[in-house]
Structure 1
């Protein structure tokens, strides 16, 4: 049976028929999908990896893998810190016990390259006060296999052994402890965020039934993404940090999309519509905006695919999956649920009495829903130059600390100060002249001769910033040989290759050490060399990100410009959207440096500042925060565009857009901020920075950029805001996309959403019906839409 004779506002499109014809079947399929996702995603946390910051095609990555294969002792990833318990490490009893531990460790499966102070006498393996010394080894295999091996053997070595106390550290211990900590923190964050989010949703909707719907969509998105990540771990490495993004975006975006759809549906019902036509109208309007918003967020996250570091690529995998699943659930599962619920979506109204009082007051004053936001928009537009300049100046000032940014690598200081692997590394930093893993390693290939190695070692030792060079030819400093090669030096050459260890005078990743890496690479010995080490990895990572960041930025900007043009048909609005989105992120980047690099608030926030920012994190935070900012930008622009098409009044359209979406965007931003702050309670510094930084960016975007800067800028640009040259207008007419009704030749109801005034009642945000009646004829257009 067709719907040709229905009034335009009640026409049921093909998509609506598809998702609502058998609503119980749709919900059953969703339930089966969720159950399969639980099974498919089980154990995903155990298969995630703790690294991924290096470029696998870089020189340092090649050298690291080659050294691990040829000279495992050169790349220790397991350190046993042996404390003499008040005795010196050369005490016979201490030395006997330590040698026994080293011998036992060398017999462990998957362990190779065991060295210790007691076997080599190397001063780098002994503390300056001679109270502690190190046993170093290499656990073979990839990160997952090495972590499992550590779990198996660590309990046998940790703790008291006769006169000595042993602590377990090293890179493999750091990664293992970081992975365990993140999993525990993520579970705690979910337990914190879910009840608070539910309370906020009840306050926004008023109805407990309506409030449960967004959480249901969020659960589907999170479980579905976990299943996707579990499958991906069979083919590629996936970072453990990606699970944090899955939880945050799964809840945040699902709630955003469900808020928009459920609220529009309730408005259609409040206007006197029946259930099925109300669902159809909701999908034609809010559904289009949700689809469009999901595309913009997915594109921002997909841009991280251009980077070779699997840390960043993992966030692209998780982000794209969670966005698409959340949007699909909002556009398929949610309409089916709304068809079955009908007006029962308003049941269990827990704020009825309070909201009645506020409505009575508003009615007595003659106020429309969202009137406070309307007055605020008019105020901003009356003083548009002042608000625009003040807001831009304030945002720029908040971002100025980022000019002092120093980039580094993630290390043990990401963990809480009480973590065992952090304690071990801190002891090495504070008490040792130069421990394993802190220097620069050079792999020499091509059958280097003894004389050539000696000459090269002397030249390297004469470079600025070099304390000492250990090579097969002996030990060198200041361009001179300090001693003849012994058994330890002889072990540095085998199978036509050799390796040299360069001990820098400064910290492992400070700028001087990075310059030293570049100076070493600039040498031209008569054999092939490859340089690795912490500083070399950082140099290669910075170069890799520098090469690819412009491409990622170009992808985000180009696709954003295109999508916003398809939404608005304007040449200027897409440019405004990109620039204002970028401005909304300045506070986040400034706070990143002021708080986490420089250590302000490190006490209250319980983290240890390393004095730098992990190199990949700003890229990640930009992509995530930019996508979320566009999410709110689309919600606002779609309603402004809808009203402008209806009335042709630019200022009234801007006021309408803020009045109808101000409360919605603020509520959505607050809920997402709650989720991100819960993530930000993590004990791992990078996760803390990610959660708190994006929470700040989201709040700044919703409460400053969307509320102040957008209406001020649109007032200043006036009707020129909507201008586009003829060819682009025709392109938009053919392929454009908007939230307003677009049935050919039909009357076009505005159907806008009501919004809160700043500080207004959540009851208004919960679903007041629009009071503006639509007028005028709709324009005949072929649109990309959900119909």
Structure 2
């Protein structure tokens, strides 16, 4: 099948490239419109208790979006300031779309900051305004507020912070992708030893990303897609497509080096018979990871999963069609490196029998398998310790914006000078007559809870209902806040009680993820095991791969806690610690790291199995054990250069996230870069060969019925003639 794809791509190269050129052009022309249709999908499903409470509060006490101005560095009762604020407030009340204006001078309950030199102006907008109209009103209100006669006027609010986040995400994506692509061009040209070979993977990546933007545009028509989704998905598409292109190019060069006089169409057919199958299995593995993400069912994660699945399909399609078609067009220049760059290029054009970094690491691991396996496993678990023992997961808010942004400054000043650094309240909605004895008993219970430092019922709640703000100890979303949410929900009452607020949202999200995690793990484990069995015919190899992936993920999350939560080394990366990890980061990394780890696992295992097939007729256990070890070393040696090059390119792409300003985006980029680095060095270079050496022939064990099934499935698979590489093999006793 895959050999046929190679021949078809050689024969139909121009129509294939023409079709992809049309798709790329459409993506460039129309795909950019997705940025005009981006939204803010919720972290939580609509049936979460905190969401139900939020909707009920809006029904009882309707309130539109708020724009908050902090007027600073002037005596609040300075007559010119009083006159200026009063005048601006009157102008604001006349703006269409403004529902109310509160200030120190014209409204009850005006507030002065703790520094005694700041005050607030709060502007409430009409609820339910269309997004475009609301933004126009916000801009008009912001302009008027800046006209207040004070040394400093900071304007912010929740929706303005969301807009700032969205705009910064788009800027970060443009900068990160531009720099990553420029660096990748230079790296690929040097590593592959030619301009055409170096540009080819990026041409394929451009086609895949352009198609992805078109797909995201269609997706935005049926569901909300965030800027964060576009950021992550497009960079993932670049990384995956470059990976697949490198695998195909290097395998084509290997085939050419073994048979330079062969017909280009047959060389391409032999290339796709092996590399093409690896691309499909790898793409399927990453696609399965996206399915695992969709299982969590939260709106933000669901949109990310759909976008990720889309980019995986297009990256795989590009690896199977665009890359071989481009090789067919320029095969003479792609087959060997440029003479000018050959001396600079660390990747050899031949079959790759000289061990690279992975080959050397694998050789060392095979000489000392037990100590290496134990040391690396313990080291990864130690790296995972900070996450397992002390991770603080919180909702991203204005704290994840850079301090230079006005929305972040408003948040910090409000928290310090007007909220005494207290946590946001846990909001309790009571569906009963506030004057009843049962409600009074409940309020007494709430006031006695150890986490509560202040209880404040809201005034003027209509009907038989009550809304109570409970200010907890600690920080918003911290242990005390979460414990308070659970305590309130555990109280028994003869009427309906709903608990909302930021801490409740965090509790609901964490509970939702925990409830659905077993199902997501089941999807990943079962489908990945089936894919790896189809690739290797082994039952133990998939189990080993899953364990290694878990170690990689946990170690990566531990490093993230050290950098982003503890702040150790954060300054070197231009990262500002906010004392927590975004609550979505572990889930996203769970699926992305799993998918990328499987990407490299498939690359290596496909070649290891190919090498093992050469020795399948050996009879004695000792000979088969030695053959298994040699197959592992040969497979890693021959594929190691491709994997390390692909990983280096992937790291360059992911480090592009660090060039932005948003902490949540930096967490994902840095996390994926760390995961790839750990996976390709200590996990694939040391732990994998050490474990496979310890297992020996057991690597390829499967029950008899499964062995027969694998034999039937793989019977028609193309096998590389042994004579082609006989000179590179050491004899194995039979």
> Measured at CA, do residues 17 and 112 of structure 1 come closer, stay the same or move farther in structure 2, by a change above 3 Å?
farther
Please give the alpha-carbon distance, in whole angstroms, between the structure 2 residues aligned to 1:167 and 1:303: 43
Q: Is the 8 A contact 2:74 2:117 kept in 1?
A: yes
Structure 1 match to 2:397: 411
Partner-residue secondary structure (3-state), 2:354 = coil
Structure 1 residue 25 corresponds to structure 2 residue 15: yes
Q: Is the 8 A contact 2:429 2:498 kept in 1?
A: yes
Q: Where do 5+ consecutive residues of structure 2 fail to align?
A: 617-626
Structure 2 residue aligned with 1:338, among 314, 322, 327? 327
Measured after TM superposition, the shift of residue 561 of structure 1 is 1.2
Q: Is the 8 A contact 1:76 1:136 kept in 2?
A: no
Measured after TM superposition, the shift of residue 238 of structure 1 is 1.5
Q: Is the 8 A contact 1:748 1:775 kept in 2?
A: no
Structure 1 residue 670 corresponds to structure 2 residue 648: yes
Please give the alpha-carbon distance, in whole angstroms, between the structure 2 residues aligned to 1:323 and 1:345: 25
Structure 1 match to 2:25: 35
> Measured at CA, do residues 109 and 550 of structure 1 come closer, stay the same or move farther in structure 2, by a change above 3 Å?
farther
Structure 1 match to 2:624: none
Partner-residue secondary structure (3-state), 1:133 = strand
Structure 1 residue 240 corresponds to structure 2 residue 214: no
Measured after TM superposition, the shift of residue 353 of structure 1 is 5.1
Give CA deviations for 1:17-68 in whole Å, capped at 9, x if unaligned: 5434322111111111111222332221232234532332211112223323
Please give the alpha-carbon distance, in whole angstroms, between the structure 2 residues aligned to 1:336 and 1:451: 79
Q: Is the 8 A contact 2:431 2:466 kept in 1?
A: yes
Structure 2 match to 1:656: 634
Taking the TM superposition and a 5 Å limit, the aligned residue runs for 1:72-471 are 72-73=62-63, 77-83=66-72, 85-88=73-76, 90-91=77-78, 93-112=80-99, 114-118=101-105, 121-122=108-109, 125-139=111-125, 140-141=127-128, 144-145=131-132, 148-149=135-136, 152-163=139-150, 165-270=152-257, 271-272=259-260, 273-346=262-335, 349=338, 351-352=340-341, 354=343, 368-370=353-355, 374=359, 376-402=361-387, 403-433=389-419, 438-445=424-431, 448-449=434-435, 456-471=442-457
Please give the alpha-carbon distance, in whole angstroms, between the structure 1 residues aligned to 2:2 and 2:60: 69
Taking the TM superposition and a 5 Å limit, the aligned residue runs for 1:704-723 are 704-723=682-701
Give CA deviations for 1:425-448 in whole Å, capped at 9, x if unaligned: 101121123699922223344565
> Measured at CA, do residues 368 and 165 of structure 1 come closer, stay the same or move farther in structure 2, by a change above 3 Å?
closer
Please give the alpha-carbon distance, in whole angstroms, between the structure 1 residues aligned to 2:223 and 2:347: 55
Structure 1 residue aligned with 2:569, among 601, 624, 627? 601
Partner-residue secondary structure (3-state), 2:176 = helix
Please give the alpha-carbon distance, in whole angstroms, between the structure 1 residues aligned to 2:41 and 2:157: 14
Structure 1 residue 611 corresponds to structure 2 residue 611: no
> Measured at CA, do residues 355 and 194 of structure 1 come closer, stay the same or move farther in structure 2, by a change above 3 Å?
closer
Q: Is the 8 A contact 1:461 1:469 kept in 2?
A: yes
Structure 1 residue 698 corresponds to structure 2 residue 686: no
Please give the alpha-carbon distance, in whole angstroms, between the structure 2 residues aligned to 1:774 and 1:27: 43
Structure 1 match to 2:56: 66
Q: Is the 8 A contact 1:374 1:659 kept in 2?
A: yes
Partner-residue secondary structure (3-state), 1:539 = helix
Partner-residue secondary structure (3-state), 1:585 = helix
Structure 1 residue 516 corresponds to structure 2 residue 484: yes
368-377 vs 415-424, which moves further: 368-377
> Measured at CA, do residues 18 and 246 of structure 1 come closer, stay the same or move farther in structure 2, by a change above 3 Å?
same
Please give the alpha-carbon distance, in whole angstroms, between the structure 2 residues aligned to 1:285 and 1:292: 11
Partner-residue secondary structure (3-state), 2:330 = helix
Please give the alpha-carbon distance, in whole angstroms, between the structure 1 residues aligned to 2:129 and 2:270: 53
463-472 vs 183-192, which moves further: 463-472
Please give the alpha-carbon distance, in whole angstroms, between the structure 2 residues aligned to 1:750 and 1:63: 71
Measured after TM superposition, the shift of residue 169 of structure 1 is 1.5
Measured after TM superposition, the shift of residue 515 of structure 1 is 1.7
Give CA deviations for 1:221-244 in whole Å, capped at 9, x if unaligned: 111111111111111112211122
Partner-residue secondary structure (3-state), 2:74 = coil
Give CA deviations for 1:70-101 in whole Å, capped at 9, x if unaligned: 4234x754322222x3203x455444443444
Measured after TM superposition, the shift of residue 105 of structure 1 is 3.8
Please give the alpha-carbon distance, in whole angstroms, between the structure 2 residues aligned to 1:712 and 1:695: 24
Please give the alpha-carbon distance, in whole angstroms, between the structure 2 residues aligned to 1:523 and 1:327: 53
> Measured at CA, do residues 605 and 377 of structure 1 come closer, stay the same or move farther in structure 2, by a change above 3 Å?
closer
Give CA deviations for 1:531-559 in whole Å, capped at 9, x if unaligned: 21111111111111111122112211121
710-719 vs 60-69, which moves further: 60-69
Measured after TM superposition, the shift of residue 117 of structure 1 is 4.6
Structure 2 match to 1:634: 602
**TM-score w.r.t. structure 1 length?**
0.85
Give CA deviations for 1:159-194 in whole Å, capped at 9, x if unaligned: 341247432112212111111111111111112111
> Measured at CA, do residues 687 and 143 of structure 1 come closer, stay the same or move farther in structure 2, by a change above 3 Å?
farther
Structure 2 match to 1:742: 717
Please give the alpha-carbon distance, in whole angstroms, between the structure 1 residues aligned to 2:17 and 2:537: 37
Structure 1 residue 49 corresponds to structure 2 residue 39: yes
Partner-residue secondary structure (3-state), 2:402 = coil
> Measured at CA, do residues 81 and 210 of structure 1 come closer, stay the same or move farther in structure 2, by a change above 3 Å?
same
> Measured at CA, do residues 592 and 142 of structure 1 come closer, stay the same or move farther in structure 2, by a change above 3 Å?
farther
Measured after TM superposition, the shift of residue 655 of structure 1 is 1.2
Structure 1 residue aligned with 2:498, among 530, 545, 555? 530
Partner-residue secondary structure (3-state), 2:563 = helix
Please give the alpha-carbon distance, in whole angstroms, between the structure 2 residues aligned to 1:445 and 1:369: 74
**TM-score w.r.t. structure 2 length?**
0.90
> Measured at CA, do residues 615 and 679 of structure 1 come closer, stay the same or move farther in structure 2, by a change above 3 Å?
same
Q: Is the 8 A contact 1:672 1:695 kept in 2?
A: yes
Q: Is the 8 A contact 2:40 2:224 kept in 1?
A: no
Q: Is the 8 A contact 2:356 2:640 kept in 1?
A: no
Partner-residue secondary structure (3-state), 1:673 = helix
Give CA deviations for 1:330-371 in whole Å, capped at 9, x if unaligned: 1112222222223132477264451699989x99xxx94337
Structure 2 residue aligned with 1:645, among 588, 608, 613? 613
Instruction: Give the alignment's Cα RMSD to 1 decimal.
Output: 3.1
Q: Is the 8 A contact 1:434 1:503 kept in 2?
A: no
562-571 vs 497-506, which moves further: 497-506
Report how many aligned residue pairs link the two structures: 718
Please give the alpha-carbon distance, in whole angstroms, between the structure 1 residues aligned to 2:347 and 2:52: 67
Please give the alpha-carbon distance, in whole angstroms, between the structure 2 residues aligned to 1:31 and 1:298: 25
369-378 vs 169-178, which moves further: 369-378
